[in-house]
């Protein structure tokens, strides 16, 4: 029994993307803020991510969010995001899931009506508004990192696909934004395998030499995401919707249209003069799930004009569980995991 450890998890999903919230069982991480804790975990304790996103414990299409102590006095909790691609600094769907799990589990007291909840992500503060009806979290509107267009009009030769044009946009991570129709995609459910294959080939071709630096966060790693943009439909004055699909490298098409993908799309539309503050864009994933993005005010990140946005979605509970980790199990890589787990 002294070789067994226990983690407490809350499994949720937002728009079909599953987030596993680790609420206990991990020793405190070093670092003066959540960003430093995340970078320590990435360097010294990546076994946790690999364990919970791999068989027999999980699946690469999931995400993991580890609850940690915040450093900022306004934040009620910190969270580190882990995905198949690594450690994104911010994520809309993961923030929606984490805020919902904290409120609906009672870890943070919930108040009927509209409730503000401030969390600390590795990218900084995430300001969220929860709408609570009869004790249930009906929606979360999250405002995270300002998005900005880093480079326009890029192109790369992709084996078997030819020349692919894209724009590079930051919204918590770097996204390559690609116009789906240029490559014959309508972003329907039956195209998901083809989109995955295209995304994998594109990322492998585009990564060498592509920007990795953020003006204030430093080196944020190689390109992790591709956001396929469908045709925009006008619903009314300042109201738009569009099919969308986000590819996470390696090998995952998100079930939701993704919050950061929606913010990146709004930033590009603003740079092109297609949206103004107050306008909304509803993104629709290949599985028909929707997020609502709203353009707020313009800003600046380093030397880049930026756009503040919010994304609104809903998370639902799937499970509240305790899992046992046998450190002698050959399927458990205990080398950079054992010291993280509370005895």
Nearest to 139 by CA among 122, 117, 123: 117
Question: What is the sign, positive or negative, of the torsion defined by CA atoms of 37, 131, 116, 145?
Answer: positive
Beta strand extents in 249-314 (DSSP E only): 252-253, 280-284, 290-301, 304-313
What domains sit in the chain, N to C, each tagged with a CATH number? 4-144+317-340 (3.10.310.10), 147-312 (3.10.310.10)
Determine whether 91 is an active site residue: yes
Count of Cβ atoms closer than 10 Å to residue 217 Cβ: 15
Beta strand extents in 134-276 (DSSP E only): 136-143, 147-158, 162-170, 174-179, 213-214, 218-219, 225-229, 233-236, 239-248, 252-253
Residues 6+ apart with CB under 8 A from 43: none
pLDDT at 336: 86
pLDDT at 335: 86
pLDDT by position in tens, the chain (length 343) = 689 999 999 999 999 999 999 999 999 999 999 999 999 999 999 999 999 999 999 999 999 999 999 999 999 999 999 999 999 999 999 999 999 999 999 999 999 999 999 999 999 999 999 999 999 999 999 997 899 999 999 999 999 999 999 999 999 999 999 999 999 999 999 999 999 999 999 999 999 989 999 998 999 999 999 999 999 999 999 999 999 999 999 999 999 999 999 999 999 999 999 999 999 999 999 999 999 999 999 999 999 999 999 999 999 999 999 999 999 999 998 888 999 999 8
Residue carrying the six token digits 């993307």: 17
* Cα separation, 333 vs 48, whole angstroms: 9
Phi and psi at residue 19, in whole multiples of 5°? -120, 125
Please state the length of the chain. Answer: 343
Pairing of strands 304-313, 315-326: unpaired
For residue 318 the two structure tokens come to 């799937």
Nearest to 25 by CA among 66, 58, 54: 66
* Cα separation, 132 vs 136, whole angstroms: 5
Half-sphere exposure of 120 (CA within 13 A, CB side): 19
For residue 213 the two structure tokens come to 């630096």
For residue 97 the two structure tokens come to 């899931």
pLDDT at 2: 86
pLDDT at 1: 60
* Cα separation, 63 vs 92, whole angstroms: 12
Residue carrying the six token digits 């030769």: 157
Q: pTM of the entire structure?
A: 0.94
Residue tagged active-site, from 19, 91, 93, 126: 91
């Amino acid at each position: 029994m002294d070789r067994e450890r226990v983690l407490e998890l809350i499994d949720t999903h937002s728009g079909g993307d599953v987030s596993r919230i680790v609420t206990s069982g991990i020793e405190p991480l070093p670092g003066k803020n959540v960003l430093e804790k995340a970078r320590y975990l990435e360097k010294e304790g990546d076994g946790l991510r690999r364990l919970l996103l791999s068989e027999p414990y999980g699946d690469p299409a999931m995400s993991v969010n580890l609850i940690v102590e915040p450093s900022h006095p306004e934040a009620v909790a910190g969270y580190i995001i882990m995905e198949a691609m690594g450690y994104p600094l911010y994520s809309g769907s993961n923030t929606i899931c984490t805020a919902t799990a904290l409120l609906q589990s009672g870890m943070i007291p919930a108040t009927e009506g509209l409730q503000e909840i401030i969390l600390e992500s590795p990218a900084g503060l995430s300001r969220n508004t929860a709408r609570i009806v009869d004790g249930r979290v009906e929606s979360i509107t999250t405002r995270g990192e300002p998005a900005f267009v880093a480079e326009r009009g890029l192109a790369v030769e992709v084996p078997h696909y030819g020349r692919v044009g894209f724009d590079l946009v930051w919204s918590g991570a770097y996204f390559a934004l690609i116009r789906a129709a240029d490559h014959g995609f309508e972003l329907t459910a039956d195209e998901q395998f083809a989109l995955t294959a295209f995304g994998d080939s594109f990322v492998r071709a585009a990564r060498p030499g592509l920007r990795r630096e953020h003006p204030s966060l430093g080196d944020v790693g190689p390109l992790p995401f591709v956001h396929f943009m469908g045709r925009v439909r006008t619903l009314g004055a300042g109201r738009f919707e569009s099919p969308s699909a986000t590819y996470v490298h390696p090998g995952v098409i998100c079930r939701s249209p993704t919050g950061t993908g929606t913010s990146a799309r709004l930033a590009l539309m603003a740079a092109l003069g297609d949206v103004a503050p107050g306008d909304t864009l509803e993104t629709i994933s290949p599985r028909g799930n929707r997020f609502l993005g709203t353009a707020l005010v313009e800003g600046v990140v380093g030397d880049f004009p930026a756009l503040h946005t919010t994304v609104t979605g809903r998370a639902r509970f799937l499970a509240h569980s305790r899992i046992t980790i046998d450190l002698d199990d050959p399927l458990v890589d205990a080398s950079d995991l054992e010291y993280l787990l509370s005895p």
